[in-house]
């Protein structure tokens, strides 16, 4: 482990984070909400720390190669660092009483989870509300991916960092050069965000709220500048616009890129995309059927609210237009399952990812097939491409870890005096980067009443989910630290 090297990269990322605080600073000046000092202080601390790290770890020689282990450590530590320093503006603001809350909100933002401890968002300063949305937007496509796109400093080692931040069960590189791929991803992401802002403005949403919502839809984040989330507007137009953009955000971005390049059929040729869209439709219809009559009297309303909740949870966004805890049991069960499935690999969504679910089912089918035809040779394929055994193993390992960590964290949280439904609901919502959970952390409540230790545990789960388990959990394996 070459700590100097890791420290240097984290230093650079901190400077980058400091610079990104210019955006809320400008918002603060524009609205004259008197919070600019908080941002200036945060910027100062963040950038000075970054500079100290860079200067203190002056590069010796030309060892810009990072191995996989170092890449993972760098990314995990960088995300923790970003969570800590990104919490400063919250900490300095009047809305947060202690650092735990600020850190929770910051990590929830960067990991695009969307769980909040703020009880009165509408009463908060504009710049803080903007910073919440903006960090989701930064975290959605990945801070390291973003820095790869605009700063060529990471060199050869970039690929290790990229893999650690955006682990994908099915590897796909859009272009031969990583920087180009990163640029494309961010360009697509930015264009979609812009289009969503325009659509929301078109429906009469004020510019500030439209931007905040677009900044949290595309990364499937779920922070809203309104206390009641999207339900505040009670408008079918806004609901459906956001549903469409949540779906787009939940699809693999390389498919968007292919489509924008003229391959319009890319969506229909991709197994995972078909699975994701089909699942979203099926679950929407089931929930519509379930809540029609029992919650809503018209089929139109049932479909509208069913589609929004299903897609919001399935894509792991976490916006709400209805309190799904008042839905019948089947709908709640389906939404709970959605929390685990998640969106597509290569999208901004979290959860286990559809690709892994497909691989898992195909793998199980192969095992059953082997029992019937003991001497058959067959492979697990997606899009007619064979998934190599190492990837199969890593996917099965991922799923096993995901479930075990969910159970372990759930028990830990319950041991802090929280009821079972809330404990497991909160863990599922945080490890899947969704936002609202079940029980006393449902869509109409928030996480402010969680115990301090519980908040740190949940923040840790969010990081686990965002970096797809391995990158974070590897830090806890003793073998990792041996020289």
**Interaction site with another protein (CB under 8 A):** 373-379, 381, 384, 386
d(CA 452, CA 200): 37
Of residues 341 and 392, the one with the C-beta less far from another protein? 392
Shortest distance (Å) from residue 367 CB to another protein = 15
Shortest distance (Å) from residue 379 CB to another protein = 5
Of residues 234 and 389, the one with the C-beta less far from another protein? 389
**476 exposed, middle or buried (CB, 10 Å; 0-12, 13-18, 19+)?**
exposed
Shortest distance (Å) from residue 226 CB to another protein = 50
Of residues 265 and 377, the one with the C-beta less far from another protein? 377
Give me the torsion for CA of 308, 442, 91, 466, rounded to 10°: -60
CB atoms within 10 A of CB 230: 24
Of residues 4 and 393, the one with the C-beta less far from another protein? 393
d(CA 41, CA 365): 57
Of residues 329 and 374, the one with the C-beta less far from another protein? 374
Of residues 60 and 375, the one with the C-beta less far from another protein? 375
Shortest distance (Å) from residue 384 CB to another protein = 7
Of residues 35 and 380, the one with the C-beta less far from another protein? 380
DSSP string covering 82-122: HHHHHTHHHHHSTT-SSHHHHHHHHHHHHTT------S-ST
Q: Which long-range contacts (CB under 8 A, 24 or more apart) does 89-96 make?
A: 89/21, 89/24, 89/35, 89/38, 89/39, 89/42, 89/127, 89/128, 89/131, 90/128, 90/131, 92/37, 92/38, 92/41, 92/42, 93/35, 93/38, 93/124, 93/125, 93/128, 94/125, 95/124, 95/125, 95/128
Q: What are the tokens at 447?
A: 């996480």
CA nearest 118: which of 434, 448, 433, 452?
A: 448
Of residues 387 and 461, the one with the C-beta less far from another protein? 387
Of residues 187 and 386, the one with the C-beta less far from another protein? 386
Q: What are the tokens at 472?
A: 């974070």
Of residues 300 and 381, the one with the C-beta less far from another protein? 381
Shortest distance (Å) from residue 366 CB to another protein = 10
d(CA 88, CA 99): 8
d(CA 271, CA 257): 17
Give me the torsion for CA of 35, 40, 41, 47, rounded to 10°: 150
Q: Phi and psi (nearest 5°) for 107?
A: -65, -40
Q: What are the tokens at 377?
A: 């040779």
Shortest distance (Å) from residue 278 CB to another protein = 20
Shortest distance (Å) from residue 271 CB to another protein = 13
Q: Taking each helix axis from N to C terminus, what angle separates 126-141 and 207-217, rounded to the nearest 10 degrees?
A: 30
Angle CA(139)–CA(80)–CA(109) in degrees, nearest 5? 35
Of residues 206 and 388, the one with the C-beta less far from another protein? 388
d(CA 38, CA 312): 33
Shortest distance (Å) from residue 399 CB to another protein = 24
Shortest distance (Å) from residue 346 CB to another protein = 23
Shortest distance (Å) from residue 369 CB to another protein = 8
Shortest distance (Å) from residue 377 CB to another protein = 4
Neighbouring residues of 204: CB distance < 8 A, sequence distance ≥ 6: none
Strands 381-382 and 385-386: antiparallel
Shortest distance (Å) from residue 168 CB to another protein = 21
Of residues 263 and 379, the one with the C-beta less far from another protein? 379
CB 249 within 8 A of CB 349: yes
């Amino acid at each position: 482990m070459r700590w100097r090297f890791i420290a240097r990269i984290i230093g650079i990322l901190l400077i980058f984070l400091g610079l990104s605080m210019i955006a809320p600073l400008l918002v603060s000046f524009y609205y004259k909400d008197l919070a600019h000092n908080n941002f200036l202080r945060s910027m100062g601390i963040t950038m000075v720390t970054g500079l100290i790290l860079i200067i203190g770890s002056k590069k010796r020689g030309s060892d810009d190669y990072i191995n996989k282990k170092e890449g993972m450590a760098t990314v995990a530590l960088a995300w923790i660092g970003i969570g800590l320093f990104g919490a400063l503006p919250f900490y300095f603001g009047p809305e947060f009483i202690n650092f735990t809350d600020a850190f929770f909100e910051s990590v929830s933002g960067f990991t695009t989870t969307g769980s909040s401890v703020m009880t009165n968002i509408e009463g908060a300063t504009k710049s803080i509300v903007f910073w919440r949305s903006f960090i989701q937007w930064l975290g959605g496509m990945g801070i390291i991916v973003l820095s790869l796109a605009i700063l060529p400093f990471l060199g050869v080692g970039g690929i290790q960092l990229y893999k650690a931040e955006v682990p994908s069960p099915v590897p796909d590189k859009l272009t031969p050069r990583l920087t180009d791929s990163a640029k494309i991803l961010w360009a697509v992401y930015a264009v979609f965000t812009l289009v969503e802002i325009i659509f929301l403005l078109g429906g009469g949403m004020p510019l500030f709220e439209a931007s905040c919502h677009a900044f949290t839809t595309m990364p499937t984040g779920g922070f809203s500048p309104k206390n009641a989330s999207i339900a505040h507007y009670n408008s079918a137009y806004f609901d459906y616009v956001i549903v469409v953009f949540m779906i787009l955000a939940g699809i693999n971005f390389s498919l968007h890129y292919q489509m924008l390049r003229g391959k319009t059929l890319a969506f229909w040729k991709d197994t995972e995309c078909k699975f994701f869209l089909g699942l979203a439709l099926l679950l929407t219809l089931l929930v519509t059927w379930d809540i029609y009559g029992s919650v809503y009297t018209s089929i139109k309303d049932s479909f509208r609210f069913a589609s929004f909740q299903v897609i919001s949870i399935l894509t792991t966004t976490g916006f709400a237009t209805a309190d799904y805890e008042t839905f019948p049991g089947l709908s709640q069960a389906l939404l709970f399952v959605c929390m685990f499935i998640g969106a597509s690999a290569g999208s901004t969504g979290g959860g286990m990812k559809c690709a892994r679910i497909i691989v898992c089912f195909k793998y199980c089918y192969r095992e059953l097939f082997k029992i019937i035809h003991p001497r058959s040779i067959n492979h697990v394929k997606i899009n007619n491409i064979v998934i190599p055994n190492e990837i199969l193993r890593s996917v099965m390992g991922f799923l096993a870890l995901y479930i075990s960590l969910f159970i372990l964290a759930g028990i830990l949280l319950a041991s802090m005096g929280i009821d079972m439904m809330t404990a497991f609901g909160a863990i599922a919502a945080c490890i899947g980067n969704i936002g609202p959970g079940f029980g006393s952390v449902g869509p109409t409540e928030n996480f402010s009443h969680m115990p301090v230790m519980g908040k740190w545990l949940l923040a840790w789960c969010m990081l686990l989910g965002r970096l797809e388990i391995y990158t974070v959990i590897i830090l806890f394996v003793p073998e990792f630290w041996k020289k």
